[in-house]
Amino acid sequence: MKIALLSFLAGLFFVGSLAVYTKEAIIKDYGKIFTAKVTAAGDQKKITKGIKKLPASHFLADMVNNNPRMIDYLVDNYTTLDTTKMNSLTGDPAALDKAYIASLQADSTFNKAFIEMAGHFLASKDSEIKGETFTKDTMSVDELATIAAKFFHADAVGADGNIKWKIGAGIDNMAQLQGTPHPIAEAFSYATILTNYNKSAGMKDDFMKGASQVQGEQKVVVGSISDTTLMAVRKGVNDFMANSAGLKQALQQEYETKKDVLNFVLSGSNANDADDKDIEPKENAAEGDTTKPADNKN
């Protein structure tokens, strides 16, 4: 118990009443946040990555426990894991988990996104990460909806000749599909869609209407859908959903509950003016082929 306490305090400083954490302490705690386990999938072993629930006393507990979908998205889309090495360790679960954590800790792209998310969260708690500066950009709801619309994805043509859709989950190469990557905004959009798709009639109805309308415009014929037609349908539905009132409403509502972990201020929201300010260190001073989401995380 004493060793654990000293380890925690080693990454925490105080400037007056301000708690100041270090980036190194946050990365060191990845073992408390992330895990990789071996599960059975028929006769084969499958690696399942997960987010642990932090105890309420941990300084990142509210961020991690309330935003597992956002963090899952960053892990799935902004990490470079050595899958060959991971697969070679399925016979040793402890070694697998250790290698997975080490890989995350060494991943500069993932660390940048996760530490930025942590930095904004800690700033909302009157704390900060030593030596780090984080800025909140301003983003319009139209810009955010354009990012979110990419998660309504015409993925492929199935064996039955119909287009297979993916809504939110299971979409490969999302950063490339976005054109300009926005890791935290993408993670927020992903979580918003998975949380609200089956609860928001407006969003779901807009997608159904858009998919039907665009396929009609492209004269889609089941059984003879070319790659060119698939791409045209994908773009058409993305454009349609970027103007979805149901999607925009969900994004605005979720923003009010998650703005503390985001790196942007949504213009036209009820955000406090203080959210527009840069967060700077004080002187001397963190699939499925379906039209409905499959999991129940927040």
Q: Tell me the pLDDT tens digit for each residue of 107-122.
A: 999 999 999 999 999 9
- In the prediction, which pLDDT does 13 show? 55
128 token code pair: 């900060």
User: Residue ranges of the domains in the chain?
Assistant: 2-133, 137-266
- In the prediction, which pLDDT does 269 show? 57
Number of H helices, E strands in the chain: 14, 9
pTM of the model: 0.84
Average pLDDT on 7-16 reads: 48
Average pLDDT on 257-264 reads: 97
- In the prediction, which pLDDT does 31 show? 97
213 contact partners, CB below 8 Å, separation of at least 6:
240
Contact yes or no for 191/204 (Cβ under 8 A):
no
